[in-house]
Amino acid sequence: MTFLEEAGKMKGVDLYFYISLMPSNAIVQYSSSSSHAINTYDVFVSFRGEDTRNNFTGFLFQALRTKGIHAFKDDQHLNKGQSIAPELLQAIQASRLFIIVFSNNYASSIWCLRELAEILNCVQTSPRPVIPIFYDVDPSVVRKQSGCYEKAFAEHENRFRENKAKMEEAKRWRKALTEVANLSGWDIQNKPQYAQIEEIVQNITNILGPKISSLPKDELVGIEYRVQELKDLLCYGSLNDVRVVGVSGMGGIGKTSGGSKIIIISRDEHILRMHGVDDVYQVQPLSWENAAQLFCRNAFKVNYILSDYEKLTRDVLSHAQGHPLAIEVIGSSLFGRSVSQWKSALTRLKENKNKSVMDVLRISFDELDEGDKETFLDIACFYNGYEEVYVKEILSFRGFHPEFGMQVLIDKSLITNNYGRIYMDSLLMDLGRSIVREKSPKEPRKWSRLWDYQDFHNEIDNLEAIVVKNEEWMFGRTTMRADGLSNIRQLKLLKLNVNFSGSLSHLSNELGYLTWNKYPFKWLPPSFRPDKLVELKLRWSSIQ
């Protein structure tokens, strides 16, 4: 029996572990990325206990456990009467995906509604999938708060009518219900539960990616507890720490089995050698045949080279150097273009013949219109993994016409849209951020965008957008000074997950989006005129 299943974060390393178990047909798989925050739970399930605990939700949790998916279930973890914060808030923050099980009595529970509102707040700050399940209630009832939901809200609002703050909270609940009910989900009314649960769990598995599959639970007695202990050791502390955890025990106690394999993936071979890797497999560029096939799929939307483009295709591929991402991006940018346009693009590639793959990708960026360039840079710096609707909303406020611009980026393979979320390859993100830095690489105050708390300085004055996240803010380990924000007059977007000290005398009147968790001051600056403000979120603030 093997319990060495999970791996922690080594700086700059992506980890994939494939560990053989006995019997030989059982495989444990886990993948993680150093760019992702540490998560305690795979799934957080919000539900009304009296409606679904002993039927649908109970079966769902059993199916999730069978797949090795670690789910938080609030009625098991929290005592009755306990306030929603901080334990529940921490569980929400520490979850990778949210499931909302809507039932007839869901809206009658203030606990459930507050839980839902907090989930949406969390998703806005750190995008994660939200999956609505409509158990015994029609989606339109949830979306419009009609029927039983209308009755529940009438009772809430009647009880709150003398309390303005709670009436505002009820409005936020209504908005949250509408937003989630508009998401793609599962309507399981009058359908076989076992079949629906199987599909839901498979969908969740696909979203989360490979983790644990085909575990013979009858063979692996006690594995879940041991795996959780090991995860706790690996996940404790800063994301930037290099963590090496040893597994010790007498022979036969279950550390590993014969044939255990560990694969570590990194861009940096030195890091692999530094951590004692026995052998390094160098992933080679695509062969000409494979490169041509991938290129044709993007440039011609077929698997063969069109007759008029044979020589041009060969010339283009010689510059892509067998790099799959470069081939996809260049091919997509040439789709539907004339021979003369291909020749023009090839001329630009020849001018950069001694440059890196990053420079080849830069050509696709340079071909974009100015507004589309700004859209690309915003996504590269801030919005990878965010919901498409929310990204478009912010980009529209910024004046970038995202409805058209984002489709241009998709057509050119610069971004993708998966399950309603926008994603960008890490190499393209590096490209976008290097473009922001290139004119003044050592002077963040001159950049148009800022995304790393370590670049935050008092003298910044030229920024239009700041989205800074630091996972240590929740534990108070990192504190920045707020003084510099007073000097930024053109700031339109400000989202902060960093502890601040100092003073704040001014905020830009151009702000449209202001999110500041743990805002440290008792009031907003008196000079602040929020005439253009679209969204304001000051969770856990000191506002009086």
**Active-site residues: which are they?**
115
Residues 275 and 443: their CA atoms lie apart, in Å, by 34
Those residues whose C-beta lies under 8 Å from the C-beta of residue 387, and which sit 6 or more positions away, are 123, 127, 420, 421, 422
Bridge-partner residues for 497, per DSSP? 469
**Whole-angstrom distance, CA of residue 415 vs CA of residue 409:** 6
Q: Are 53 and 66 in contact (CB under 8 A)?
A: no
Instruction: Show the CA angle centred on residue 205, arms to residues 61 and 210, nearest 5°.
Output: 125
CA–CA gap between residue 207 and residue 197 (Å, rounded): 15
CB atoms inside a 10 Å sphere around CB 166: 15
End-to-end CA distance of the chain: 56
In our burial notation (b when 16+ CB lie closer than 10 A, e otherwise), range 74-102 reads beeebeeeeebeeebbebbbbbbbbbbbb
The three-class DSSP label of residue 42 is strand
- Token couple for 310: 């044979």
CB 468 within 8 A of CB 497: yes
Biggest distance spanned by C-alpha atoms of the chain? 77
What are the CB-based long-range contacts (under 8 Å, 24+) for 429-436? 429/380, 429/384, 430/358, 431/358, 431/361, 431/362, 431/365, 431/380, 432/365, 432/376, 432/377, 432/379, 432/380, 432/381, 433/380, 433/381, 434/358, 435/362, 435/365, 435/377, 436/377, 436/380, 436/381
As given in the structure block, the two tokens for residue 464 are 């239009």
